[in-house]
Amino acid sequence: MQQFLELFHPLPGNSYLLVTTKLDGVADALYKKIKMVDGSFSIALYGEGEFVDAKIEKIDSLLKPFKASPRDNDRVVFYDIFTKHTSQEMLLKLAYRTLANAAEVVIIEPKGILDTQKTYQLLEKMEFRASNRIDDILDGYDVFVAKKMHMWGNGL
């Protein structure tokens, strides 16, 4: 978990959005990391659960989008939801919209589920750049990271 957390370098006032189907050690670790710098941590939860001191939007269907304001987040993390949701493109469009310029999207899925080349192509199509797959940083999971570049493509 420590190696995984080294991907995140929150600054005071940063906002992170976790889009997930479950609240577990990953959610707790991200929450603690952002709270160390007095940042805000929001969760879009496609499932059941409670989390102390985090703004939670509960979504009852994988057909529905999560809510997020434009340029409101410094990082969007899709954890165990990307392949389950009915529209990966919609998720990435919403992430692009809510991310600040030069911010990152992180996709975490169980190892072997996502095709690396197809994921890179989808991220590129949705205007995310510098895509990377990081292996063996979180046990049992593949981690993809990509950057929203200012004024590329979608213009937000």
pLDDT at 152: 56
The CATH number assigned to the domain holding 19 equals 3.40.50.150
Question: For residue 40, what are the β-bridge partners?
Answer: 15
pLDDT at 154: 58
pLDDT at 150: 67
Residue 109 lies in a domain: yes
pLDDT at 141: 96
pLDDT at 53: 74
pLDDT at 129: 93
User: What is the rounded end-to-end Cα distance, in angstroms, of the chain?
Assistant: 33
Residue 155 lies in a domain: no
Counted domains in the chain: 1
pLDDT at 50: 82
Do 88 and 128 form a contact (C-beta atoms < 8 A)?
A: no
Average pLDDT across each block of 10 residues of the chain; the chain has 156 residues. List them in order. 93 95 94 94 90 86 92 96 94 95 95 95 94 93 92 57
pLDDT at 48: 84
pLDDT at 51: 80
Per the structure, the complete domain to which residue 90 belongs is given by 2-148
pTM: 0.92
pLDDT at 156: 53
Residue 72 lies in a domain: yes
Buried b (16+ CB within 10 A) or exposed e, 16-52: bbbbbbebeebbebbbebbeeeebbbbbbbbeeeeee
